[in-house]
Amino acid sequence: MDQASMEALYRTYGSMVLRRARTLLGDEHAAQDMVQEVFMKAIRAFPSFRGESSLTTWLYQVTTNHCLNAIRDGARRRRALERRMPAHEPVAESAEDRVGVDELLQQLPRELAEVAIYYYVDQMNQDEIAALLGISERTVRNRLRDFRDKARSKLTDPGSEEAAG
């Protein structure tokens, strides 16, 4: 991909990727790094992109997957930090802000977290999610129901997943 195409890609889709990364990661620096990573993938894949889905749709999926990876990697890191640091030291500037959202996205099964992101963050219909993920609407409904059940049990018993897992 030449420089002009890369610029066009950034200018057309960059804000969308950045907005979603900010929402999902809750951290400006991490979100900016995420934009680079998503576009690295886009730059590589662009020559073979056949337009079977829209580029917007594809970038939504790439961003979601990479952000979930980063959030889950962040959970592992924080656990390591908590072991290494005295209890009174904060492990991350935004740790308190992130606990609720991160815990849900880290600890619940990935396929549930993914569907929840599209439904609650991106405000997508169940049929849009089904088309995006290549699954049936019934599966989307079931995953949303499972997400709600598990999220509810997390809120009432925050240690349940860790104790079980």
Partner 1 sequence: MRAIDFSRQQRDEACLSDLALDRLVAGEPADAAATHAAGCARCAERLAELRRAKEADAPLLDQIMRRQASVVPLRRRVWLSAMLPLVAAAAVFLFLLPRFLHPGMSEREKGSSTLALDVVVKHSDGKVEALGPHGRVRAGDAIRFLVSAPRAGHLVILGLDAAGQVSVYVADGDDAHRVERGAKQAMPGSIVLDATPGAERLVALECEARFPVAEAVDAGRRSLESAANDPRRVGTLGLPGCLETSLTMDKSQ
Write out the binding residues for partner 1, residues 99-158 only, by CB under 8 A: 101, 104, 116, 118-125, 128, 132, 147, 151
Q: Which lies closer to partner 1 via its Cβ, residue 71 or residue 140?
A: 71
Residues 60-79 interacting with partner 1 (rule: CB under 8 A): 60, 65-66, 69-71, 73-74, 77
Least distance (Å) between residue 155 CB and partner 1: 9
Least distance (Å) between residue 41 CB and partner 1: 5
Residues 18-57 interacting with partner 1 (rule: CB under 8 A): 18-19, 22-30, 32-37, 39-41, 43-45, 54-57
**Collapsed DSSP state (helix, strand, coil) of residue 116:** helix
Q: Which lies closer to partner 1 via its Cβ, residue 85 or residue 138?
A: 85
**Residue type, position 94, single letter:** S
Least distance (Å) between residue 165 CB and partner 1: 19
Residue by residue, DSSP assigns 39-65 as: HHHHHHHGGG---SS-HHHHHHHHHHH
Answer yes or no whether residue 162 interacts with partner 1 by CB under 8 A.
Answer: no
List, in order, residues 6 or more apart from 121 with CB less than 8 Å away.
Answer: 20, 23, 24
Distance CA 114, CA 68 (A): 8
**Residue type, position 64, single letter:** T
Six token digits for residue 134: 């290549």
Distance CA 59, CA 50 (A): 14
Q: Which lies closer to partner 1 via its Cβ, residue 72 or residue 139?
A: 72
Least distance (Å) between residue 14 CB and partner 1: 4
Q: Which lies closer to partner 1 via its Cβ, residue 14 or residue 158?
A: 14
Distance CA 140, CA 156 (A): 24
Least distance (Å) between residue 93 CB and partner 1: 9
Six token digits for residue 94: 């935004």
